[in-house]
Each structure stands twice: as structure tokens, then as C-alpha cells.
Amino acid sequence: MNILLVYAHPEPVSLNGSLKDFAVKRLEDAGHIVQVSDLYAMQWKATLDAADSTNRQAGVRFNPSLDSKHAFENGLQSKDIAIEQEKLLWADAVILQFPLWWFSMPAILKGWVERVYAYGFAYGVGEHSDARWGDRYGEGMLAGKRAMLVVTTGGWESHYSPRGINGPINDILFPIQHGILYYPGFDVLPPFVVYRTGKIDDAGFANTCDALGQRLDSLWQTAPMPFRRQNAGDYDIPELTLRSDIAPDASGFSVHIA
């Protein structure tokens, strides 16, 4: 299979760098073809702006969505954006690997999402009608592909537990797993999270590699998180609220998981 690893850490000689190298080898040893987008090494442009279109005219008002749509539809995207979109279309599975900085992905990776996820590519896809609200949340250009997060954090696992002070890890990651990955169609596998990275020793690193290796070996067997499909009947359209007879007393992120 074809696997894209999008990787965001500034230092190759780091836990993240070692885990990335381990993952690439493990996947290649299993016969997969791996491409790595090493965003720091690529000096990825993090900031979405008018220069993301190649024919941008000075003095014209910049509209992030409409300019993205025009550039995507007319082959006028900055080349770095088009290359990453090709990698996404090529991939059968995509892994985003990053350290959790301030409870989200590093800015360089967020900027990868913002710039690569063009209008017409990752959003603004499909028809809006009484029965559907675009091809998103389970449908879209990236449907049929799998995605998984590999995340490291200095905090303890208990700090990210259901009653931990940082909030539950799956809630912290919901805007990414549901809002960035499931939205354009990916089947999202449970995340692989490494806690308390500052204290990891050789034995801890070996255990982490074992656990990550098992997750990589079972990339095509692991059940995706059962997010609810937007256009399959669970939601009222266009309000896009969960139907009142489904989990009637519940609210929050969890109601979107069947």
C-alpha cells in the first residue's frame, strides 16, 4: 500500500525523529511504499496568504476561500500545495505525526492543512440540497483512505484521562480527527499517543516502538472510529444537528461517535 507520513518536528535527533525513522522502516519492511513530508526539513510555508496562487494580482482583495477555489480549479495553485495534494491522492493511508504543542498540532502542520486543504479539494465539495450538505464528514475526495495520528506529549496519561485537567485526549484531538481528517472523507483510526516524553528511557522507547509497530502492522485491520456520516440520515439538514431521537439526552463531541 501507499503511505504518506506527514511529520512535524524541528529536530531529527529527538524522540519524534526516532519514532518517524522507526515507522518508515517498519512500513517499508512490510512491503509498503512510504513518502514522508518532513515539514521542517522542507521549510514548509506555514502561513496561508495571497501568494498561494501563482497569478495573484496586486491590489485585488484577497478572499481565502474563493481564491483557493479559483486557484484549485484553474491549476494556479502554488506548486508546493499541488505536490502535497498529489501525495494525498496517491496515499492509501496518511499518518500525521507531531508533538502536541498547546493542545494542538504545531503551527507548521496547521499551515499544511490550511494550504493543502483547498476549496474544491477538501471542502466545498459536492452538492448542497435538502438531503445532503456537501460531500463531507464521511464523504469527500479522500474517502476510502485511512488516517491516523501519532502524537507525543510531555504530560502524564492521567492528565489527559476522562477527568484529567487537560481534558480527555480524544476530546482534545476531536477537532483534528473529526474536523480535519473525517471531514474530507478519511476513515480515522484511534490515535497512537506517547505520554511523558521527557522521562522516556531506553526500555520505554523500546516499548513504545513495539506498541507503534503493532499499530502499523494492523493499519488495515484496525476498526476506524465510528464517527457518524453527515448525509446518511443521522442529522437534520440543513441544521446539521443530530436527530432528536438519537441519544436524546446527550450532547458534545461524543454524540458524533455511533
The site for its own copies (CB under 8 A) is made up of: 10-11, 13-14, 40, 44, 46-50, 61-65, 99, 101-104, 106-108, 110-111, 113-114, 117, 137, 154, 156, 158-159, 161-168, 171-172, 174-176, 178-180, 198, 230, 235, 238-242, 250-256
At closest approach, how far in Å is the CB of 128 from its own copies?
12
Q: What is the DSSP letter of 60?
A: S
Whether 133 and 230 have beta carbons less than 8 Å apart is answered as yes
> Shortest gap between Cβ of 160 and its own copies (angstroms)?
9
Write the DSSP string, 183-212. Answer: TTTPEEPPPEEE--GGG--HHHHHHHHHHH
Q: Based on CB atoms, which residue is closest to its own copies, 42 or 209?
A: 42
Q: Which is nearer to its own copies, 31 or 162 (CB)?
A: 162
Hey, what's the cell of 53?
496562487
Q: Could you give the CA distance from residue 246 to residue 255 in angstroms, rounded to a whole number?
A: 9
Calculate the dihedral angle through the C-alpha atoms of 50, 139, 181, 45, rounding to the nearest 10 degrees: -20
Nearer to its own copies, 123 or 192 (CB): 123
Q: How far is the CB of 37 from its own copies (least distance, A)?
A: 15
Q: Which residue has the cell 512491503?
A: 31
Q: Which of 32, 45 has the CB closer to its own copies? A: 45
DSSP 217: H
Instruction: Give me the least distance between CB of 24 and its own copies, in Å please.
Output: 21
